[in-house]
Amino acid sequence: MSAVPPMPARSHVALASVLARERPASATPTFGAGGEEPWTAALSGAGRALYLVAEHEAPSTDHALAFDRWSAAADSTDRRTLDGLEGPVLDIGCGPGRMVRAALDAGLNAMGIDVAHAAVEVCVSAGLPVLRRSVFDRLPREGRWGAVLLLDGNIGIGGAVAALLTRCSDLLRPGGMLVAETHPTPAHDRTFLGTLVDATGGRSDSFPWTELGADPLAALATTAGFDVDATWQVGERTFSRFRRR
């Protein structure tokens, strides 16, 4: 467990609320933003069927996202990703905040970040310590996090995995852990302009995204200063854990 004392929950909530109101929109396209805002609509409870497709691609069941799972409490597969971690834990792209809650329930000091106003509002309303920030913004505890999480496909943030891994390395203290959820095909490596589509056909603006299996991720992580600590699979979900040198 982390020796770093937690910030009071009220301070986190107050700061997150301010950031949710005042943070300007990023000039870089982000997951599900723009257009008809399907991500915001889903987070606000107006429909939950979401599909991540390449630009100009039609949605299908192969593209369906697990929004219902993301919005529910963490399950046993989620909680296993926290095994052996020491805090403080940073959940990058935390969405509705289930992993922040799971980490706190496990006795870990934890915080989430997300660029989506609606996601932060959901978390703040639930009393979770979440800030409206990009992973590439200045963050609390630079170089002192015990673990960072990139679950639910968030290894794809920005479509530039090497830059994302380097940033995670900078955030972690030596010996800190990175846990990433990977594409189930080990050799998979695809970068594309993605679009989020909902069940009504509402589309977001396009944004850069990457899907990566365990093999290319391990190669990039090694270059970014990590050693592979473990890989595992539960059902159709696959994970890799890395230790910062």
Q: Which of 9, 143, 3 is nearest to 87 (CA)?
A: 3
- So what's the pLDDT on residue 8? 36
Q: Which of 162, 1, 121 is nearest to 112 (CA)?
A: 121
pLDDT in tens, the chain (245 residues): 333 333 333 333 343 343 333 344 445 789 999 999 999 999 998 767 999 999 888 898 889 999 999 999 999 999 999 999 999 999 999 999 999 999 999 999 999 999 999 999 999 999 999 999 999 999 999 999 999 999 999 999 999 999 999 999 999 999 999 999 999 999 999 999 999 999 999 999 999 999 999 999 999 999 999 999 999 999 999 999 999 99
- So what's the pLDDT on residue 27? 57
Q: What architecture does CATH give domain 9-244?
A: 3-Layer(aba) Sandwich (3.40)
- d(CA 75, CA 59) in angstroms, rounded, equals 27
Distances (CA, A) of 180 to 73, 214, 229: 19, 9, 12
Domain boundaries in the chain? 9-244
Q: Which of 180, 138, 132 is nearest to 155 (CA)?
A: 180
This prediction's pTM: 0.88
- So what's the pLDDT on residue 156? 97
Give the 3-state secondary structure of the chain: CCCCCCCCHHHHHHHHHHHHHHCCCCCCCCCCCCCCCHHHHHHCCCCCCEEEEECCCCCCHHHECCHHHHHCCCCHHHHHCCCCCCCCEEEECCCCCHHHHHHHHCCCCEEEEECCHHHHHHHHHCCCCEEECCCCCCCCCCCCEEEEEECCCHHHHHHCHHHHHHHHHHHEEEEEEEEEEEECCCCCEEEEEEEEEECCCCECCCEEEEEEEHHHHHHHHHHCCEEEEEEEEECCEEEEEEEEC
